[in-house]
Amino acid sequence: MGERTILITGASAGIGAALARECAGRGHDLILTARREGPLLALAEELTAKHGVAANVVPADLAEPGAPAALVEAVAARGLSVDGLINNAGFSRTTGFLDTDPADHAAMIRVMLTAPVELSRLLLPGMIEGGWGRVLNVASLAGQMPATGGDTLYGPIKSFLIKASQGLWLETQGTGVHVTALCPGYTYTEFHDVNGSREQVSSAYPAWMWMEADRVARIGWDAVEANQPRVTPGFANNVLAALGGMLPDALALRMVGGHARRLDRL
């Protein structure tokens, strides 16, 4: 069994599953949560067999009000402690602000903004008391780029997550707790299949702009171990992040031209 236990939300696929594999490979026990229990059980079996770590499955739908507190209670009821937290769960809608069901907007806010805040507030005291903790918030390059239309709330939510991570990084200095915002760009996962933009983004962006989920996970966990407040994997993504951060929104949008609308789907 590992010395530390990491709770990962949205662990059933994509970057979340890649982070689970990365943490297990480094000897950490895991608590895996997502809506879909089947993929979680399969991943837990894989990681235990390959790395000999304990991989506990606690299904939860973070879109439900009160889900973060219920998840923490369920973890405690199993006698498990949480040494690290990866806030990875997320999804998007690309139909535009007025054409998206308000219930979907509310769910996005709960899953990607409210849940990371609540889980961090619930779990950080124990980490600080124990003198060791890791919080990795999976944000996005979209949170560093100018605002765009289409998936209107996604970029602002990720921008919030970046700023909140930086604030927590400042507050936890000297406690043994490390906080990092991971800001990947285009990554090969099922994310774009779920939101229906796979064909569009695949034709719009060349292969050299895309990254593999396992590399993103490795860079992200290296960054949180090193206590970096923010990391943006990949040369192309770093260039885009610099572009988004240094130029006025209107100029940056003109420079990225016809692809500006798609940048919020990273």
For the CA atoms of the chain, what is the radius of gyration?
18
- Listed in sequence order, the residues at least 6 apart from 222 whose beta carbon sits closer than 8 Å to its beta carbon are none
The number of beta carbons lying within 10 Å of the beta carbon of residue 264 is 25
How far, in Å, CA of 10 to CA of 6, rounded?
Answer: 13
| 29-46 per-residue burial string, b: 16 or more CB within 10 A, e: under 16 | bbbbbbbeeebbeebbee
Active-site residue, selected from the candidate residues 154, 186, 188, 205 = 154
Residues whose CB is less than 8 angstroms from the CB of residue 244 and which lie 6 or more positions away in sequence, other chains included: 141, 144, 145, 146, 252
Rounding to the nearest 10 degrees, give the CA dihedral for residues 194, 195, 199, 202. Answer: -90
Q: How far apart are CA 266 and CA 251, in angstroms?
A: 20
Q: How far is 266 from 160, CA to CA, in rounded Å?
A: 15
Is 154 one of the catalytic residues?
yes
3-state secondary structure of 266: coil
What positions carry a catalytic annotation? Answer: 154
